[in-house]
Structure 1
Amino acid sequence: MDAMADAIRVMAHRFAELTTTAPDPDREVTATPGWSIVDVLGHVAEESVRYRELAVGRGAWPASAADLPAFNAEQIRALPTRDPRALAARLIGGTETLLATIDGFEDDVPLMMFDGDQRVRADRARGTFLGELIVHGYDIARMLGRPWPIDPAHVPLVFDGLNQVVPGWVNARASEGHTATYELRLRGAARYTFVFRDGRLAIDPADAPAPDVHICADPVTMLLLNYGRIGQWRPALTGQVVMWGRKPWLALNFRDRFLPA
């Protein structure tokens, strides 16, 4: 069984249902200023198509993380339709084509170009697409006052994709000269080691030093923190995030080491 494919398929259908039943599809989504529900739906639908194109060696991507907002704006401007049901159908069709394409690679999974001129494994890149579905769905559902439960088992799948591209999202100004090792634990699920050396980041390197700080968090909380959807103080005060180690204060600025998602 492919847990990643199963998770994406479930979330794509949930996302399509959420967006096509919204009473006002032109309502602005608070978490993504300037984007309406239709814009968000169109963006995610186009991402399903773009990921498949990138997986087979075609498609387009921004040359740097800083170029992504302009890239996304042009993507939305050029949507083939603004009809929610047509876009939802494009999302479901694009998702199925993406999953079938990855499945067809079998054991010969290629590297594909991705945002920030990075080369990533096509199968693991699906994790970032899963993150799009989960987080943008969360944004819309929260605005509409609808439930949007997030499965904690989906969070390590998202991080499996994100960790391929996170080094390209380091905030050069905030991380200039920074050297430290962070252990990030998704409570009951997974753990990762983030090693900064003079401002450059490697994740889970074989020669990782002992952590300067350990950060352990509820998986869903960490996902929303990672995408900047919630602040860090309430989770810290309620025990959803705990930190310890030789330099526990480093945890307070960990999110600032990266550009906004």
Structure 2
Amino acid sequence: MALYLLFRREKAWQRPRLRLVRADAPTVDGFVTCCGEDVDLVMGMVRAASSQDYPPCSYRVFLLDDAQSPELEDAIQAYNQQKGQQHAQQAVRYLARTKAPGKPHYFKSGNLCFGIEESSKIRPLSEYIGALGVDAIPETDWLRRMVPHLVVDSKMDAIVAGLRHYNLPAGDPLGQDIATPSDITIEHMRDAMGVTNLYGSGYVMRRAALQDIGGWPLAPSAEDLYCGHLLAGAGRGVGFCWDVCQHDLSPGSLDALSKHWR
């Protein structure tokens, strides 16, 4: 790895910045996953996810609530009514799976499997899927900056978004922002080889590529990295968008950090 970076110092291979400008666009299903977080926090993400500068007829938003919160379901219904989203294509869809007692639920990966399966029942089937965590707010042009990378490169099947933390103290005295993918030097190498790590929020991937590796992998944790490794192992390119397209909530304690990575 060190030798690869040494001999590629010129960085001529760094991925260019792209933007989709056409009014028509590939279809995308966006999934917001949550499980017991504060309703206001979740609704902040829902507003951001559903306010994308992307053709409404090509974009659907699903909220996957793994805590089955009646309060959150009511909040989604009220939000749709407030926005005047009468057409099913434009309304945020609330989904909550039933967990059978005694059977493993696989946390976030199980929640995503449920959402992907449910969305596949709604026609037309989207070409791409994207995922957002409740603690990372996307820019309004997140999809316009992400999707073109997959459109122009048929060998790439997933693209990961750069991020910055939005709740760090002035000056970032503990250097927490250094750990973001946008600042990891080795990410340049991974991107050049098409084997970027698939981080848990802000990515977009081809639905067909996910189906070809057997669907979203079930794992109790690190399901995003696992999925990225499966894609790379199957010869599927995973790239990194060097634009900062989302702003993440950094864990404020060791306990919060441990929950963040579960």
TM-score by length of 2: 0.27
> In proportion to residue count, which structure has more strand?
2
TM-score by length of 1: 0.27
Tell me which of the two structures has the higher relative contact order, counting C-alpha pairs closer than 8 angstroms and 6 or more residues apart.
2
> In proportion to residue count, which structure has more helix?
1
